[in-house]
Structures are given as C-alpha cells and as structure tokens.
Structure 1
Amino acid sequence: MTKNEFNTICFVWILVALAAFILLQFVTAPYGRHTQKGWGIEISNKWGWIIMELPSFLIMLYFCVISKSNAYSYFLFGLWLIHYFNRTFIFPLRIKTKGKRMPLVIAGSAILFNGVNASLNGYYLCYLSTFDIGDFMNTNFLLGILLFFTGFIINQKSDDYLIKLRKPGESGYKIPNGWLFEYVSCPNHLGEVIQWAGFALIAYNYAALSFLIWTLANLVPRAIKHHRWYQEKFPEYPSKRKALIPWMI
C-alpha cells in the first residue's frame, strides 16, 4: 500500500468519526452510569472492558513484534502499549462495578473502533514511517511527549480518584470534589484527550490524527452527557463546574 492510498483510508475514517460525533449528540452509549435496558444481550462490565480494549493492545503488539522499523517508531509503539496495557489488564480489575453489566453491542462496536485505530497506527509505524534518530530532538517530539505524559497522569489520577470514591460494597455514584474535579466533571476524559493530542504530535501522521479525532468524537459528547447527568441527579452540583475543559465546555 502506498502512503497516498493509506492516507485516503485515514481521511475516510476521519469522516466516519465526524458522522459518529453527530450521531452521539442524539444517542447516548448505554454503559456505565448511562446503562439502560433494550440494547440486547448484556455481559459483565469488567469482561466487557477487557474484551473491547484487548484488540488495541494485541494488534499494536503484533505490528511491534514484526516491525523492522526505526527507534522512533518503536518509541511510539511503546507509548501505545503502555496505555492499552493499563486499559486492558489493570483498569478493569480495579473498577468497583460488581454486578454491573454492559450491552454486548457496545463491546462489539468498541472492538471495531479499537481494531481499526490500532491497525492504522500499527501499519503506519511498521511499514510507512520514515522517522530518524534526530526526530527525538524536534519540537513535535518534545511538546508531544510533555502532553502525552501530562495527559496520562491526569487520566490515571482521575480514574484513581473516582474508583476510591466508592467504599467496599458500594455501587452508587457520588459528587467528586477536589483537584481537577473542581473545574470539570470529567478530568479523566480531558487527560485522555491531552494524551492522544501528544501522541498525534509525536507521530505526526494521518493515522495518529484520525485517532485523536475519534477520541474527541467519542469523549466530548460523553463528557457533556456525564456533566448533565450529574446536574440532574444532584441538585447541589457545583454550578461553575464545566464538562471537559475548564471555563469553556
């Protein structure tokens, strides 16, 4: 596959992301706090997370193993695998969702989403990348690595904070307060957006850009609906708090 053919596929995938963004203005994915009946067969929430995140880890690991690329590409492989090792094997075992379930169709759609994104990014790094050792000192890398690990830390700390809100045996929701939760309802989503913006800067290709756009298409509507859910469920919810970006959205 030529780079032009590959980029065309990425452009099409970006258009699909934009369509999904529009759709998510009207449809709320029924998992987590938005779970509802009527979406067919349901599976364990923990197993659902593992199943739907696993393709991203395995596909990228496959490309990493077979690749004979450059050190810069291997670095990007590593960033991706660090994130998805946590998402696939650590995060699902930490969440306190005993008895909670998610529709199988949600896990299935996430498998498709993760499979395509990992395939595009893995293929580019394995076969099309032309990085060299000097790229470790360029502005894109330095700014991108700062953003990636800043976002990663925000995402991890936010998840940890939310997990610890529940005492042993509890399954309900509470208002999170403190740290970035003073400014936004979903700093975990904000962290993930910052993280993949950093990855896109470091990778500097259309596959990474398409993944960033997909991240925004999924998480911006999700954060806004989380925010509205909090406002509806808790009358005392802080009025100055935003959904995703402090003082803005």
Structure 2
Amino acid sequence: MAMSGLLPFLFPPPPSMFVSAMSVISFVSLGNAGISEVRRKHMQYSKFWNLNSQVSVDKQIKLSSKTGMLVAYTPAFLAGAASFWIFPQEGLRFSLISFALTLHFFKRIFEVLFVHKFSGSMILDSAIPITLSYFLSTAAMIYAQHLTQGLPEPPIDLKYPGIILFLIGISGNFYHHYLLSKLRGKGEKEYKIPKGGLFDLVICPHYLFEIIGFVGISFISQTLYAFSFTLGTIFYLTGRSAATRKWYLSKFEAFPKDVKALIPFLF
C-alpha cells in the first residue's frame, strides 16, 4: 500500500539485482547505524573517536581526522566525476544527479582542506566502512539512474524542487560547518558550545541541512535506490544528532536545555 503511494514519484524499478540489493542494504545498514548511535555504539570519528571503544585505542590503527576524512570522501568524489565520462550524454536528470553527487563530495573535500579544524583521530576500523559506504552508495545511485534510460518518466516530476532543496541543503550545511570552524582559535582543540545560525535552536543544524540536501538528491533522481538511501541517511543522522546532544549535555553544564538535537522546537 505504501509502495503504491510512491509509484507516481518513482521510475519503474529496473531489473537489476545489484540495485535492488543495494536499496535494501543501504537502508538497513544506515538505519542500524542510527540505532547504534542512540545505544552509544558510535562510529569512531569526530568527538566520538575514542568513546566506548571495545578495543584499546592503543591497539587500533589511527589516522588523523583530516587524513581519515580525505580517505572517506575522495573515492566517492572520483566516482561522481568519472560518471560523466563513463555515461556520457544520458540526459538532463542524469547530469543533474552526477553533478549534485560530485559537488557534494567536492564540498566535503574542500571543507576538510580549508574549513574544518580537527582535534581528534579516526580509527581505521571506522574509516573503512565509511569510505565503502560513500563510494558504493554514490556508484549505486549513478548506476540506478543510468538504468532509467528509456523508461517512462514518473507522472510527478520532482527534479526542479529537488534542485532547490539540494542547493538549500548544501549551502546551509557549508555555512554551519563554517560557524563550527570559527569556534576555535589557532592551536585550540577543545570543544565549545556552538553559536549562531540555527545552532541556537538545534545542536546539529549541519545534519539537518545535509538531510535536506539528500532529500533534494532523491527528488532529482526519483529512483527507489535514491529514496532508500535518503531514508536510511535520515535515520542515521537522527541517531547521531541525538547522541551529539547527549554528549554536549554531559560535557557542558551551561548547555541550554531548550536546544534540540535536529529539528527546531521538536526533536
């Protein structure tokens, strides 16, 4: 019943076991990661890099946060960039998806190099699944879009609202990452309570805008895989934001209790 309600918004599912399997795997794995964050089983990067580790940190292979993030984002960026050469002249919607994904990861690499100020490390055991997730999801989304060639367009065209949402999402995400980077002076590594923008309402506005950006991408794509991945991303970032709010509450007595995790005034 729910699936039939989505049919006006989706391309017909292509006869591809890979795309079908990836749709389920992406949703389940991201959703499970979100539940794990709530249960304090964190992906070990950023402020959670050495929290509640099952293995002594000294016995694990560590990367600097900067190196770990570059390792995580670069393969996905290259997959997006290569899609223009691998699948040339596949129409406006395909070009928009490839451009959006490539721009998304280019922005992330740019932020790693020129915006973010890092204070911790990344465990290799976290870097590997993050890298694979970004790369495989990008490749799967592009391939799923390629398989829509020759199929009838969805009755309801969402690609232009999707472009608007994507631009709002990527801009808002960058702005709040910039605000986070300005919290620390030169040489400082300690965490502070973020201020400005939507930080006065939620502790993770950068996650909120990332969700908006991926909703935009799924609207541009209108494939089952894109919607499955976006829904899984929402679950993961919801769990991560809830864990982040709990972390700030535990670290800062002055953390304002009315600041929510992800959605202003609600959650």
TM-score scaled to structure 2, two decimals? 0.84
Is 2:217 aligned against 1:199? yes
Shifted more, 78-87 versus 205-214: the winner is 205-214
- SS of structure 1 residue aligned to 2:122: strand
Aligned position for 2:29? 16
Match for residue 73 of structure 1? 94
Q: What is the one-letter code of the residue matched to 1:160?
A: Y
Number of residue-to-residue matches in the alignment: 243
Displaced runs of 4 or more, over 6 A: none
Query: Structure 1 residues 96, 11: CA separation in 2 closer, same or farther (over 3 Å shift)?
Result: closer
TM-score by length of 1: 0.89
Name the CA distance, whole Å, in 2 between partners of 1:171 and 1:129.
Answer: 49
Match of 1:142 among 154, 160, 169: 160
Using a 3 Å threshold, how does the CA distance of structure 1 residues 214 and 198 change in structure 2: closer, same or farther?
same
Counterpart of 1:29 (choices 18, 36, 43) is 43
SS at match of 1:102: strand
1:118 aligns with 2:138: yes
Tell whether 2:103 aligns with 1:91: no
Mapped pair 1:58 → 2:78: yes
Residues 78 and 187 of structure 1, relative CA distance in 2, 3 Å threshold: same
Q: Are the equivalent residues in 2 in contact too, given 1:72–1:131 (CA < 8 A)?
A: no
Equivalences for residues 129-208 of structure 1 within 5 A? 129-130=149-150, 139-208=157-226
Per the TM alignment, residue 72 of structure 1 is displaced from its structure 2 partner at its CA by 2.0
Q: Closer, same or farther in 2 for the Cα pair 1:182/1:47, shift >3 Å?
A: same
Letter in 1 for 2:238: V
Q: Distance in 2 between matches of 1:221 and 1:248?
A: 15
- Displacement of 1:81 in angstroms is 0.7
RCO comparison, higher one (Cα < 8 Å, 6+):
2
- Residue pair 1:64, 1:122 contacting (<8 A) in 2 also: no
Letter in 2 for 1:174: K
Deviation at 1:96, TM superposition (A): 1.6
Distance 1:16 1:4 in 2: 23
- Give the drift of 1:19: 3.1
Distance in 1 between residues matched to 2:36 and 2:182, nearest whole Å: 33
- Counterparts of 1:238 and 1:217 in 2: how far apart (Å)? 25
Deviations 1:129-179 (A, max 9, x none): 4589x99xx751232122111111110100000001111111111111222
Contact 1:43 1:101 in 2 (8 A): yes
Bigger proportion of residues as helix: 1
Deviation at 1:64, TM superposition (A): 2.2
Q: Say which is worse superposed, 200-209 or 37-46, in terms of deviation.
A: 37-46
Structure 2 gap segments, 5+ residues each: 1-12
- RMSD (CA atoms): 2.1
> How high is the sequence identity, in percent, across the aligned residues?
27
Match of 2:65 among 42, 45, 48: 45
Separation of aligned partners in 2, 1:243 and 1:221:
9
CA distance in 2 between counterparts of 1:10 and 1:96 reads 34
Give deviations 1:191-214, integer Å, cap 9, x for gaps: 100000011111100121122123
Unaligned 5+ residue runs, structure 1? none
> Aligned to 2:231, which of 196, 213, 216?
213
